[in-house]
Amino acid sequence: MKPFKGERVFTPGPVEIPDRIREVLGRQIIHHRTPEFTEAFLETRELFKRLVDCDSENFVFFSSSGTGAMEACVLNFFEEGDKVIAVVGGKFGERWAELGKHWRLKVIEHHVDWGKSVNPEDIEKLLKENPDCKGILIQMSESSTGAYHDVRAIAELTKDRDTLLVVDAITALGVYDMKPHSWGLDVVVGGSQKAFMLTPGLSMLWFSEKAKDKLTGRAYYFNVGNELKKQVEGQTAWTPAISLILALREALRILLETGMEGVENRYRTISRGMAKASESLGLRLLPENPSISLTTLLPPEGLSADEIRKAMLSEGVRVAGGQGKLKGKIFRISHMGMDVNDMVVALSVLERVLRAKGLKKESGVEAFLEEVSR
């Protein structure tokens, strides 16, 4: 028998679920066409407004994983033949491009080396060359590489243009203190099993007034306009993921008790500490400008990323590998839902694994603790 109680999950989705949320998820179902549900739903909406620091009612919750809400963006805000720029710097950027092409948008793929962040000047140039560009599809935190894209800088370019800035913030919303309205973002997508620390199956889609004016009505199930009408009244067009809505309310309470500024600070501290620890362990970070949601590492010479993952798993810690062209080349340690003490667990296991292979340099745990207590 292994000397630990259960597997710890440090993957960038799904992430571990706090006890307070698990308690809600385990409750008996309530019916959704009831005043009880309506009250809970409206309270959830009020809390969500505080999360995004904006009084607008322009947001809906969908029963789907994050990709469902991404597809909803393409269908609800763009017509067939509309020209859009997709920033492709990883697996999820590829997904934007695929979704756009699937629904017959004219997609200009702007490729960025995997691990790099997009240069806003390149986007400015593309926008000048394509004045008819209707949208930019981008990730704020590209979870497949761990890179951060500066969506605020891009918003400066789109806010005075007839171009919607559509942000996949699935590993950013609930991590960063996002202010989509004042930053000038047009559409923001979040997902339950990432920073919201819930089970998979719920997505969130926030949009600006500028985006609202473009609603196409093309979608049936994922129809933002229909949903909005119902949801502001405390109901949903279809049967909602009832348990997940109630659990989202609890997740929002947890996040707002600390406040998003405090939550972001916690993740910033962890991210800084992880960078220091990696250096001490002789490991390189893949991204130049990392998202604070996860740490993406290249394996040391003489050991593969998958060997590290397997060895860590046998010590009770699950971390993620690479996707697409980074498969087998990197490993990713998520910070979402974690605190400093949790990260010590992951780091100490990583350190033990490297030591067993004769590859450990200085202590990662010590470097981490020194950095986070500064």
- Quick one: which segment of 63-71, 125-133, 153-161, 326-334 binds ligand PLP (CB under 6 A)? 63-71
Does the footprint of ligand PLP cover residue 65 (CB under 6 A)? yes
- Quick one: which segment of 28-36, 107-115, 147-155, 165-173 binds ligand PLP (CB under 6 A)? 165-173
Pick from 58, 76, 117, 139: which binds ligand PLP (CB under 6 A)?
139
Question: What Å distances lie between residue 68 and 54, 171, 338, CA to CA?
Answer: 24, 15, 26
* Footprint of ligand PLP on 195-254 (CB under 6 A): 200
Instruction: Tell me the C-alpha distance between 18 and 248, whole Å.
Output: 12
Name the residue among 211, 69, 215, 194 with its Cα closest to residue 141: 194
Residue nearest to ligand PLP (CB): 66
Angle of helix 364-372 relative to helix 340-356, nearest 10 degrees, comes to 160
Q: What amino acid is encoded at 286 in this protein?
A: L
Nearer of residues 245 and 367 to ligand PLP, judged by Cβ: 245
Pick from 71, 82, 94, 168: which binds ligand PLP (CB under 6 A)?
168
DSSP character at residue 234: T
Does the footprint of ligand PLP cover residue 67 (CB under 6 A)? yes
Nearer of residues 63 and 280 to ligand PLP, judged by Cβ: 63
CA-angle at 127, arms to 126 and 130, nearest 5°: 85
Q: How far is the CB of 66 from ligand PLP (least distance, A)?
A: 3
Pick from 40, 66, 243, 287: which binds ligand PLP (CB under 6 A)?
66
Pick from 10, 13, 315, 365: which binds ligand PLP (CB under 6 A)?
13
Does the footprint of ligand PLP cover residue 100 (CB under 6 A)? no
- Which of helix, strand or coil describes residue 293? coil
Pick from 191, 273, 290, 300: which binds ligand PLP (CB under 6 A)?
191
Q: How far is the CB of 99 from ligand PLP (least distance, A)?
A: 10
Burial (CB count within 10 angstroms: exposed 0-12, middle 13-18, buried 19+), residue 109: middle
45, two tokens: 């909406």
Pairing of strands 59-62, 203-207: antiparallel
Q: What contacts 179, CB < 8 A, 6 or more positions away?
A: 52, 53, 54
Could you list the residues that contact ligand PLP (CB under 6 A)? 12-13, 65-67, 92, 139, 143, 168, 170-171, 191, 194, 200
